[in-house]
Amino acid sequence: MLTLLFMVACTGTADSGKTDDSSTGGGGDATNGEALFGSCAGCHGADGTGGIDIGGTPSTDLTVSVPAKTDAELEDIIKNGYGYAMPGQYSDAQEIADVIAYLRLTFP
């Protein structure tokens, strides 16, 4: 009984704590973002550390790069891609917000 209550309380905190302070307008769902990150992981690695050769360009280490970017910059990269080696990934505003919520949680 106590354990169940504790888990519910924890889940609520993890969700709402991260989505409310987003400058993209909020509403990012990190849990959905984790699933969406699957498409990033193919190039940046499941742990985000990158270094994978993509057509001659090494993928970026997201553990270093994400904390240095604003939400607006991340949104632009996810939507439009980056350089020659990374194509745009998502165009849906909600999906982009979800990915950013996951990135902020995972690579603070």
* Nearer Cβ to ligand HEC (19/103): 103
What's the closest the beta carbon of residue 47 comes to ligand HEC, in angstroms? 13
Residue appearing with tokens 């998502």 = 90
What's the closest the beta carbon of residue 16 comes to ligand HEC, in angstroms? 23
Q: In angstroms, rounded to a whole number, what is the distance separating the alpha carbons of residues 10 and 63? A: 25
Under a CB-based contact definition with an 8 Å cutoff, are residues 2 and 12 in contact?
no
* Chain position whose Cβ is nearest to ligand HEC: 83
- Residue ranges in contact with ligand HEC by CB under 6 A: 39-40, 42-44, 54, 57, 59-60, 62, 65, 69, 74, 77-78, 82-83, 85-86, 89, 99, 103
Q: Which residues does 54 contact at the CB level (< 8 Å), separation at least 6?
A: 43, 85, 86
What's the closest the beta carbon of residue 14 comes to ligand HEC, in angstroms? 20
What's the closest the beta carbon of residue 35 comes to ligand HEC, in angstroms? 11
